Amino acid sequence: MPMTDALASGTATGTATHCPYCALQCGMTLRPSAAGPGLDVTERPDFPVNKGALCGKGRTAPALLSARVRLTEPLVRNRDSGRLEPASWDEALDAVAEGLTRAAQAHGRDAVAVFGGGGLTNEKAYSLGKFARLVLGTSQIDYNGRFCMSSAAAAHQRAFGLDRGLPFPLEDVAATGCLVLVGSNLAETMPPALRYITELRRRGGTLIVIDPRRTRTAEQADLHLQPRPGTDLALALGILHLVVADGRTDEAFIAERTTGWPQARAAAMAHWPELVERITGVPVPQLRAAAAMFCDAPTSMVLTARGPEQQSKGTDTVGAWINLCLATGRAGRPLSGYGCLTGQGNGQGGREHGQKADQLPGYRKLDDPAARAHVAEVWGVDPDVLPAPGRSAYELLDALGGDIKALLVSGSNPVVSAPRAAHVERRLRALDFLAVADVVLSETAALADVVLPVAQWAEESGTTTNLEGRVLLRRKAVEPPPGVRTDLEVLGALATRLGWEKGFPADPQEVFDELRRASAGGPADYSGISYRRIAEEDGVFWPCAEGSEGTRRLFLDGFATPDGRARFAEVSHRPSAEEPDADYPLYLTTGRVLAQYQSGAQTRRVETLNKAAPGPFVELHPRLAAQLGVGDGDPVAVTSRRGRAVAPARISRGIRDDTVFMPFHWPGEGRANTLTNPALDPTSRMPEFKVCAVRVEAAT
């Protein structure tokens, strides 16, 4: 296949590409619309992940390409009027370069920060990290993917020596004997993935769903456990306790392929069933049923999502579920194991190539001298030029206006998505200079001194890495509107203004080829992956060294630790950072709804999706509603120690009566993240989005 074919756009049969939203990265074909200007989406039944299935977000994705809903020219804030006004690209880029330089000269290089996004392509993430560390010379870079699956990533690294969301392809999920979904609502967050659960059930497999809410996914389950928010760690330990007590551990596997079992076993045995029932609210018979279903099946899997991960003990919680898989020999074997359901479109690739505070390309550690030397050689600089690791995402945002004076944001909307969002908004306003590169005028971009309009998914080519570790090629289908540039063009132009004439090409394939060299020999080795291979093979699984086929299934022959053995985690239950009390007697948990995505910056601009999910709500149990004297649709106020949000009540018997739920897609008075707790996991630095203490009352 000629290389140009891999990047072909606008062909007679349409452009084969991928959805811009979640980490499934569903295959789709884009064709010119028969009804007029624009593009239509058609299925790609040959793509193995979604096999043609698409959710409403994917089907309506071309609506984002319309000039009516997106930015088409740079904006610069007029200091006299205070308004954002149209400007030329030279004016806007000069203003950004001046703002970043002024802060660095006055306060030092670390007074300038960069905040990236988990939706950026691998090429953009790589270039953004390189730009921060070389051009700006700052250690202050992180990204919103820290809020996605950093706890699972840390637990993966600790247990297996390598972090890839799923160590096996999705097709294996349909063939396992028992699937445990912990804190995942696939029916609303990744609807095309439900086909794997349907196939699992058709084959006679069983499904256990663990969630405080009876979601659309939980309705598919053979067993639904509804623990109190923040108690998933105790639940996992209680199930492992029963497995040990019933003599159902795989002692041969433990002896041959693991270390640390005596300590992990002792910790689990301290969590007897009656204690776990008191902590979690899950009855002992249900705990026993879960342990039996998991062990009775010939093969079993545990998949976690944000529920157990977005906690101040998320790394240990995931570690406890990994312990269950290791103790029963359900890891490193076909059709069994632990995996994490990555959320954002390039949440996996986004953290592999350098926009995370402590990482270099190829998932190398920034504090590893050998890693620094390798990447520095590719970049043509002395390793000593590279800064040390910087702050994690929330810590970076919390420092804005303090020792961080200037910020460049690329593809993120922390005004809506960050915990303690009202505080983060105040920190953004306290900056001396803020620049935002985005497709739309998000709530964060609206605060900026300079807004740079950039191209999006169908207007440029680039790679993403889906939740399986499959590296995919999103192809350009149309030209961006006049006045819009790609992120790579923006970084190159800024680098030139800041003294770097070379090293930041605008061609994504050229960037990817450099990324391959930078990742070679690292944990996330992409050196054997090319645009041509991706196009020919419907994606290539990393690690993939030069000359190798790629790795569809990890750990079958050994784990990625120095001795090849998986490590048990010695973990015990501890309370959440904030538990209900007399003043704030209820739990709040947050999540997504089917028709919206992340901070809603994109989906709230699509008419069809807004009709399906027009605004925020507070889901509460009928008993709680009766106590409050509110009916369905009545406005209720939810208050935490950080702020107050108001939204209509949605009464449901599917939620615990000590818990309320809010989706986090909207700004304004219904902004759920006004309420959430920024308490951080000590290892992953993940904020505790999924549990905090609140009070609820009828709004007046």
Whether 32 is covered by a domain: the verdict is no
Burial zone of 45 (CB within 10 Å; 0-12 exposed, 13-18 middle, 19+ buried)? exposed
- Kindly report, residue by residue over 427-459, the tens digit of the pLDDT: 999 999 999 999 999 999 999 999 999 999 999
> Both 376 and 455 in a single domain?
yes
Looking at residue 664, its pLDDT comes to 97
Give the Cα separation of 404 and 427 in Å (integer).
Answer: 10
Average pLDDT value over all residues in the chain? 96
Half-sphere exposure (Cβ direction) of 700: Cα atoms closer than 13 Å: 2
- DSSP annotation of 310: S
Asked whether the CA dihedral 655, 687, 614, 194 is positive or negative, the reply is: negative
Whether 561 is covered by a domain: the verdict is no
Structural domains counted in the chain = 3
Give the Cα separation of 47 and 29 in Å (integer).
Answer: 10
Asked whether the CA dihedral 434, 438, 440, 442 is positive or negative, the reply is: negative
Would strands 635-640 and 359-360 be described as parallel, antiparallel, or unpaired?
unpaired
Of 312, 341, 370, the position where a domain reaches its end is 341
- Kindly report, residue by residue over 44-62, the tens digit of the pLDDT: 999 999 999 999 999 999 9
- Kindly report, residue by residue over 338-387, the tens digit of the pLDDT: 999 988 889 999 989 999 999 999 999 999 999 999 999 999 999 999 99
> pLDDT band at residue 180, thresholds of 50, 70 and 90?
very high
Whether 238 is covered by a domain: the verdict is yes
Whether 232 is covered by a domain: the verdict is yes
Whether 127 is covered by a domain: the verdict is yes
Task: Using alpha carbons, select from 387, 321, 336, 379 the residue that is nearest to residue 357.
Answer: 387
Residue 695: which residues within 8 A CB-CB, separation 6 or more?
583, 584, 585, 586, 638, 639
The CATH code of the domain that includes 136 is: 3.40.50.740
Give the Cα separation of 621 and 653 in Å (integer).
Answer: 5
> Both 217 and 275 in a single domain?
yes
Considering the chain, what percentage of its residues have pLDDT values greater than 90?
A: 96
Residue 351: which residues within 8 A CB-CB, separation 6 or more?
118, 143, 145, 150, 153, 359, 363
The CATH code of the domain that includes 645 is: 2.40.40.20
pLDDT surpasses 80 at 423: yes
3-state secondary structure of 371: helix
- DSSP annotation of 576: -
Would strands 643-651 and 470-474 be described as parallel, antiparallel, or unpaired?
unpaired
Give the Cα separation of 160 and 154 in Å (integer).
Answer: 10
> Both 162 and 210 in a single domain?
yes
Whether 50 is covered by a domain: the verdict is no
Give the Cα separation of 454 and 443 in Å (integer).
Answer: 16
Buried b (16+ CB within 10 A) or exposed e, 477-507: bbebbeebbbbbbbbbbbbebbebeebbbbe
Domain of residue 630 covers 586-698
- What mean pLDDT is predicted for residues 237-262? 98
Of 341, 367, 391, the position where a domain reaches its end is 341
* Count of C-beta atoms within a 10 Å radius of residue 181: 27
pLDDT surpasses 70 at 9: no
- What mean pLDDT is predicted for residues 271-279? 98
Residue 230: which residues within 8 A CB-CB, separation 6 or more?
311, 575, 576, 579, 587, 688, 690, 691
Task: Using alpha carbons, select from 177, 158, 464 the residue that is nearest to residue 300.
Answer: 177
> pLDDT band at residue 37, thresholds of 50, 70 and 90?
confident
Task: Using alpha carbons, select from 648, 591, 645 the residue that is nearest to residue 615.
Answer: 648
The CATH code of the domain that includes 317 is: 3.40.228.10
> Both 143 and 154 in a single domain?
no
Give the Cα separation of 595 and 655 in Å (integer).
Answer: 20
- Output the CA angle 518-520-526, nearest 5 degrees: 95
Task: Using alpha carbons, select from 316, 56, 44, 375 the residue that is nearest to residue 191.
Answer: 56
> Both 260 and 288 in a single domain?
yes
- Kindly report, residue by residue over 561-608, the tens digit of the pLDDT: 999 999 999 999 999 999 999 999 999 999 999 999 999 999 999 999
Is residue 103 within 8 A of residue 112, CB to CB? The reply is yes
> Both 174 and 263 in a single domain?
yes
Of 326, 341, 356, the position where a domain reaches its end is 341
Looking at residue 1, its pLDDT comes to 36
Whether 579 is covered by a domain: the verdict is no
- Kindly report, residue by residue over 288-304, the tens digit of the pLDDT: 999 999 999 999 999 99
Give the Cα separation of 499 and 673 in Å (integer).
Answer: 39
- Token look-up 């979904």 returns 181
Whether 468 is covered by a domain: the verdict is no
- What mean pLDDT is predicted for residues 226-233? 98
Half-sphere exposure (Cβ direction) of 226: Cα atoms closer than 13 Å: 14
pLDDT surpasses 90 at 90: yes
> Both 439 and 317 in a single domain?
no
Give the Cα separation of 371 and 377 in Å (integer).
Answer: 10
Task: Using alpha carbons, select from 93, 105, 129 the residue that is nearest to residue 497.
Answer: 93
- Kindly report, residue by residue over 624-648, the tens digit of the pLDDT: 999 999 999 999 999 999 999 999 9
> Both 99 and 219 in a single domain?
no
Model's pTM, two decimal places?
0.96
Considering the chain, what percentage of its residues have pLDDT values greater than 70?
A: 98
Amino acid present at 693: A
What's the residue count for the chain? 700
> Both 169 and 221 in a single domain?
yes
3-state secondary structure of 396: helix
pLDDT surpasses 80 at 512: yes
Q: What is the 3-state secondary structure (H, E, C) of 195-216?
A: HHHHHHHHCCCEEEEECCECCC
> Both 88 and 234 in a single domain?
no
> Both 120 and 217 in a single domain?
no
- What mean pLDDT is predicted for residues 468-491? 96
Is residue 693 within 8 A of residue 640, CB to CB? The reply is yes
> Both 210 and 95 in a single domain?
no
Give the Cα separation of 90 and 73 in Å (integer).
Answer: 12
Give the Cα separation of 319 and 159 in Å (integer).
Answer: 7
- What mean pLDDT is predicted for residues 188-196? 95
